[in-house]
Copies of this chain bind each other. A is one copy, B any other.
Amino acid sequence: MADQDRFARALLAVARGLGRIARERARAGDVTPQQAETLQLIAERGALSTSTLATLLGIDPSTASRNLSGLERAGLIARQKGSDDGRQTDVRLTPRGRRAAQSVGNGATSAFASLLDRVPRGERARVIDALELLVKVLDQTG
């Protein structure tokens, strides 16, 4: 099979598997998958504008706005009119939001740890390196 086909099949299967795990975790946890995603992104990048967030997540700005409304209602983020540019909205985590992001991160780490355990010890470094390279490539495309 050509490399392109193997690559595409593998990526589709990975997406499927990761989606499945995300749904399992969502059923168990207290925040929705998209909320978790958004929280973690803000935690990583610090303050963001709505449109920047939308771009990073690959969603429509209107969708990002609505998602943020939910997080704001839950008291996990705070929105404030941008200080330099009044059109923008600065999004920041509240203390509760920071704790939630932390908890989400820990949950993800432990959920994925059992996966890593199944990777033969000698292969782990290679798998992680490959994934990080893939992330870099994915970010370039976005």
Contact = CB atoms under 8 A, between A and B. Distances in A.
Interface in A57-104: 57-59
Given A3-B116, A16-B57, A59-B23, A133 B137 contact: no
Interface in A88-142: 105, 108-109, 111-116, 118-119, 123-135, 137-142
Contacts of A133: 119, 123, 127
A29 interface: no
Given A4-B112, A109-B5, A138 B13 contact: yes
A141 to B, nearest CB: 6
Interface of A: 3-8, 10-24, 37, 40-41, 57-59, 105, 108-109, 111-116, 118-119, 123-135, 137-142
Given A3-B128, A4-B109, A23-B58, 19 more contacts: A8-B108, A10-B131, A11-B112, A13-B135, A14-B131, A14-B135, A15-B22, A16-B57, A16-B58, A17-B134, A17-B135, A17-B138, A17-B139, A18-B138, A23-B59, A115-B134, A118-B140, A126-B129, A130-B130
